[in-house]
Chain A
Amino acid sequence: AIRMTQSPSSLSASTGDRVTITCRASQGISSYLAWYQQKPGKAPKLLIYAASTLQSGVPSRFSGSGSGTDFTLTISCLQSEDFATYYCQQYYSYPPGLTFGGGTKVEIK
């Protein structure tokens, strides 16, 4: 299986901060990576796919970059509604299939 490692596992930030989350794949996955936002008690919400393509309706303060094994999700100006847990997910091939990172919780400082 392709392992996805996110860092940090949690971070504290203030409204207006620029936040960067990293996701590393255990092998090259080209640009087959998605990012999700999950708030407590809710289903995940797709933010970005193909490493850098913003899903329709997602604010432009979210951006993604990277290819191969190293990827980043950046929130350019953190808003109060952005405090949540973020997951990356690779979809490089089947088999072996789809895997998620362990998550990064963005908390209020």
Chain B
Amino acid sequence: QVQLQESGPGLVKPSETLSLTCAVSGYSISSGYYWGWIRQPPGKGLEWIGSIYHSGSTYYNPSLKSRVTISVDTSKNQFSLKLSSVTAADTAVYYCATAAPHSSGYYPSYFDYWGQGTLVTVSS
């Protein structure tokens, strides 16, 4: 069974870069699947941030694309999120998750395994 665990600072200053890592166990990132990030502001709904394939191909939410970088480290079996120029609006619980391959193309679909989530607060 795939298990995911997010880690990173819980507090980030405005205008700085938010960095999170998701450690994967029970499955090799190199074996396939799409690996992604979803966030949820306190009391609000879910927002897809982006996903990456083990080959390094990336897929980003157009509304965040200019500020997001997702990378994968197959040697450590983990993947990472960087979100630049953060503001208070980026305060949220950040989840990492696996996405099954789309049935008709080379991009992510639905999310079947999730990490527990980590709260990141943007504040000075």
* A contact residues around B109 at 8 Å (CB): 32, 34, 49, 91, 98
* A contact residues around B46 at 8 Å (CB): 36, 44, 87, 89, 100, 103
8 contacts between A and B (CB under 8 A): A1-B62, A34-B109, A43-B115, A50-B103, A93-B105, A97-B61, A98-B61, A99-B48
> By DSSP majority rule, is chain A's interface helix, strand, loop, or mixed?
loop
Answer yes or no: A7 CB below 8 A from chain B CBs. Answer: no
A36 to chain B, nearest CB (A): 8
| Contact status A97-B48, CB under 8 Å | yes
Q: How large is the interface on A (under 10, 10 to 19, 20 to 34, 35 or more residues)?
A: 20 to 34
Give the complex CA separation of A36 and B45 in angstroms: 12
B98 to chain A, nearest CB (A): 10
A24 to chain B, nearest CB (A): 15
Contacting A at CB under 8 A, from B55-104, are: 59-63, 95, 97, 100, 102-103
| Contact status B45-A96, CB under 8 Å | no
| Contact status B112-A46, CB under 8 Å | yes
